[in-house]
Amino acid sequence: MPPKPCWRARVTETDLLVIGGGITGQSAALFAAQAGARVTIVDAQRNAGSHANAGSLHVQMQSRFLRLNPHLADNLESSLPLYLSAVTAWEALDTRLGGVELTREGGLMLAEDEAQLDFLRQKAERETRKGLDVEILDRDELFSLAPWLGEAIAGAELCRNEGKLNPLVANRKMRGALGSLGVEHVHDRITRIEEGSPPTAEGEGATYSAGAILVAAAWGAEALAKPLGLTIGTPPEPLHMNITEAGDYRIRHLVQHAERPITLKQFRSGQVVIGGGWDANLASAESRAPTIRRQSLLGNVALASRIAPGIAGLRVLRTWAGYNTPVDGKATIGPVRNGSRVFLALPGDAGYTLGPITGQAAAALSLGTDPPIDPAPYSPARWRS
């Protein structure tokens, strides 16, 4: 367990208190601070998903989510316009931060047989109706676009809306931008929120009072929301990732698979990031972070080498685990109840992709300004007991 802060103070000079210092909370803070608000971010600095992220910009429906949660497919499909807005928000953030190695050359979801191609065709029809720019590629079309692929690949769905970025660069530059705007970062763990005028948040090290409170704590939001009358499931999902040494820059797309758990992307530095849903271990009392599993490391790397044989000779430099928080496949954005000054900003799945647009929308609502997207479909009302 991390050491508890030993100081006590009362923070009263904050317009917006953001609970959670990942990309969602930071984006909310950046939006509010640019609008002139005084902002404080409180973060427990433990097991943050954003700081273990691999930098995928997802737009098309991920086959892994559909396989694991078929009952939530409608939620994911209805959220596709939000994913389109999310990547646009990332492009604006890329400009604002001075570049985070963001590219949008599209994403490939690969198939190895006709059954998998049929799955992709049906998925592509649904996505087209929601405004995505997708196309099914046969083997020849695919290999002309991605000649580095392995011989087992039979075709793919190309989603031109997708992309990738370097999260290490993005996280560092975001912290710098927030510092230049005077956003305060506090290391503390919030244990309870009280609605009131103004609302307050009780931490292990301090009590915080603000004009509005915004919860962007991902898997930590469940415990905070329950006393406010919201029953929302945010179980942490520990997942495995790897990064290799640099090779020739050839993999320009974000790569996934129609059936197998894999994401593959290459930074402009040449390093290849390999992930895609292989299990890791939950954090324990002895480890502050989730830990890797040997079988996930071996299986993940072997599958990546099958898909892209050219990377087989690259050494894995680092392997790690982080948390995803899928919830119900749909973002939660808005006040916990009508008139409340406590707001939620929870992406729902693909949190790094959706983080900026989710945070910006919730921050706008807390400031009483027009949000960049319609938040009505993502209201917290669905979680009210």
How far, CA to CA in Å, does 117 sit from each of 114, 120, 314? 5, 5, 30
Q: Is the peptide bond before 380 cis (omega within 30 degrees of 0)?
A: no
Over residues 50-69, the pLDDT tens digits come to 777 888 999 999 998 888 88
DSSP character at residue 229 = T
Pairwise CA distance, residues 12 & 171, whole Å: 28
> How many residues are there in the chain?
385
Alpha helices in the chain (DSSP H): 23-34, 63-68, 73-78, 80-97, 114-129, 139-145, 167-180, 221-225, 294-307, 351-367
What pLDDT is attached to residue 46? 74
Over residues 120-151, the pLDDT tens digits come to 999 999 999 999 999 999 999 999 999 999 99
- Residue 75 — pLDDT band, cuts 50, 70, 90? very high
Structural domains of the chain, with CATH: 10-51+168-233+328-383 (3.50.50.60), 107-160+237-324 (3.30.9.10)
Over residues 301-311, the pLDDT tens digits come to 999 999 999 99
Query: Would you say residue 172 has pLDDT above 80?
Result: yes
Query: Would you say residue 330 has pLDDT above 50?
Result: yes
What average pLDDT does range 101-123 have in this prediction?
Answer: 96
What pLDDT is attached to residue 51? 75
- Residue 9 — pLDDT band, cuts 50, 70, 90? low
Q: Rounded to 5 degrees, what angle do the CA atoms 93, 95, 99 make?
A: 95
Contacts of 121 (CB under 8 A, 6+ apart): 136
CB of 91 closer than 8 Å to CB of 152 = no
The number of beta carbons lying within 10 Å of the beta carbon of residue 157 is 28
Pairwise CA distance, residues 106 & 214, whole Å: 33
Pairwise CA distance, residues 40 & 18, whole Å: 6
What average pLDDT does range 318-341 have in this prediction?
Answer: 93
DSSP character at residue 236 = -
Query: Would you say residue 234 has pLDDT above 60?
Result: yes
Over residues 335-369, the pLDDT tens digits come to 999 999 999 999 988 889 999 999 999 999 999 99
What average pLDDT does range 217-226 have in this prediction?
Answer: 93
Up-side HSE of residue 67: CA atoms within 13 Å toward CB? 12
In whole angstroms, what separates CA 264 from the centre of its chain?
A: 16
Q: What is the mean pLDDT of the chain?
A: 92
Over residues 365-381, the pLDDT tens digits come to 999 999 999 999 999 99
Tokens, residue 299: 């299986």
Query: Would you say residue 7 has pLDDT above 50?
Result: no
CB of 311 closer than 8 Å to CB of 272 = yes
More confident residue, 10 or 214: 214
